[in-house]
Every structure is written in structure tokens, then in C-alpha cells.
A and B are shown apart, each in its own frame.
Chain A
């Protein structure tokens, strides 16, 4: 019995030290939000086009056209990081011919139109989510957020925050590449 108690401080130190080690891990993001959508079918939603913009609106049916994974980016003209992210998304469309859809979150149509006229419009479709209800369907916490949706409508990836900087872009490109591979495999299977 006494022997067991002699080991107690060591056990406590190992357990507590383990927690400290986990807490100090620089790669751990304590603010990371868990997402329930991953591997789930994309939520049902249907959004009208942004008033005054030629780009058509966005609904769930548009995600499952079967031409590989699509990127759904939630943005707003009032969101400052979105401006920085815009260039990254534009390059993705121009360089890799990636299909990019947008959800214009709680934005005035005229502001969104002006914003896109100034920066360019890489989006194939944009749905205007004035009420933020579609945002809730997507489990949105803030803007910007970017989703990768497989050709069959399965949500494969979610990136919270702007995809800006080498590291973030790298992470997102890897996820997109993985999604393309996954999508091809799914296509062969069916």
C-alpha cells in the first residue's frame, strides 16, 4: 500500500505535465471551432441573386452539378479580411479553373455590387443571404468562411477565417487537392 502511495506524486506529475504539454502545443488552436457539417450532405438552401448583379443566385442544387468539387465562399463587402482573401480566390479560379460560388452574407446589394466591380468578380454564382438564415444552415460563425463541397454535395472541408498568407493558402490548396482526389474516387465507385 505504501509503495503505491510513493508512486502517486510521479503519476500526478506525468498526468498534469501531459496536459501542460498538450496546452503548450503551438499547433493547437484553442479558438478552433468544431464543425458538424464535414462529411455531411450540404444543407438545403436557396438564395436569390444579388440585386443589380448579372451573376445568378445560388441554391443547393447548383452544388451537385457533378463537375468535381466546388468552393463555396461566404463573403461580405463590410468584411475587411474578405478583401485580402479575394485575390487568393481569384487566383484559384484563374490558375486552376476552380468553380467558385459565393454567399454574400448580410450585405447591401449595392455595396456588394460596388465591391465586386472594384475588385473583380471570380464567382460563378452568388447567393444573397440578407437574413443570415442560409448562414445558420451552414453553421456559420463569422465571415469569411470557405467550404469545399464534393461533386455529390458532401461537405468535405471548412476553412474558418480568411485564406490569406502562405500557410493558410497551402492548407487550403492541400484540402482542395484531397477533395479532387476524393471526388474522382467517388466517381469511379458509382
Chain B
């Protein structure tokens, strides 16, 4: 790969990482700005597929970023800000699903499946081992005996 191509590729990759947050949005207070960035990463851009508002260039995402900063400046806590947006856009706007009865299945399913597969694995494993330890049954022993006896006599089956 030529160097030029490599540089182009890196540039393209970096372009994706570029901040959607525009300079005029950034707050003067670095602590508030850091909180705003953190909150923005937890909020979904409603017109994009699975992108947070911090990295989205969509108009609505920008409006929400500005709103988040405005609420922070007015003294809202992080939870207040997220609740304010959630009240208008619903749980869908949260990047990670909330913990409530409707989402229990979602949260528990992975552990449930892991448990089930562990049980299945143990049952199969145990059965395999006990079979091996048991050895052959009396009927099978007799059968083997008959075959080896016939072999010794010389007539191969």
C-alpha cells in the first residue's frame, strides 16, 4: 500500500471520529462541558440509527446538545437533564435501556441463556463420563468373548 493511500485511509477513519460538537456549542466552563459531553453520549439521536447525539451531525441532535448545555447552565443535575429529554422522547432516547419491569427479560436473558447452556453442558458431560466408567455390560462381555474365541480358532467373521 502506498503511503498516500495510507494517509487517505487514516484521514477517512479520522473523519468519522471528528466531533459533531461545533465550536459555538462548547461551554466556557470545562467542568460543565465535560458533563454535557458525558450526558450527550447517553442520549440517542432520534433520527439516526443507533448514534448518540454527541457524535451526530443531525439538526435535532444539535438542538438537543444545546438543550443539554442550557439545562446544565441552569443548574440541573445530570439525572435531571436526562429525565427532561426522556420525558419528551421516551425511553427510546436512552442509549442503554433503563432498569424496569418491562426490560427485565432483556437484562436477564443473557444470564438465563448462560445458565441453561451450563446445565445442558454439565448433564451431557456427566452422562458421557459415567458411561465410560461403567464399562461393558455382561451381555456385551459375553459377545466379545464369543468373537475372540472364534477368532482364535481361526475362522474370521
A interface residues, Cβ below 8 angstroms from B = 1, 5, 8, 33-37, 43, 106, 131-133, 135-142
Give the nearest-CB partner of B70 in chain A.
Answer: A133
Interface of B (DSSP majority class): helix
Size of chain B's interface in residues, with CB distance under 8 A? 15
**How many residue pairs at the A-B interface have CB separations less than 8 Å?**
41
Q: Which of B17-25, B57-65, B134-142, B143-151 contacts A (4 or more CB under 8 A)?
A: B57-65
Residue of B67, B90, B91, B120 near A136 (CB, 8 A) is: B67
Residue of B60, B64, B88, B123 near A36 (CB, 8 A) is: B88
Task: List 30 interface pairs A-B (beta carbons < 8 Å), by A numbering.
Answer: A1-B123, A5-B120, A5-B123, A8-B120, A33-B46, A34-B90, A34-B91, A34-B92, A35-B90, A36-B87, A36-B88, A36-B89, A36-B90, A43-B88, A106-B59, A131-B63, A132-B59, A132-B60, A133-B63, A133-B67, A135-B60, A136-B63, A138-B88, A139-B89, A139-B90, A140-B60, A141-B46, A141-B47, A141-B60, A142-B60
Other A-B contacts than A136-B67, A139-B88, A142-B47, 9 sampled, CB-CB below 8 A, are A1-B123, A34-B90, A36-B88, A43-B88, A135-B63, A137-B88, A139-B89, A141-B46, A142-B60
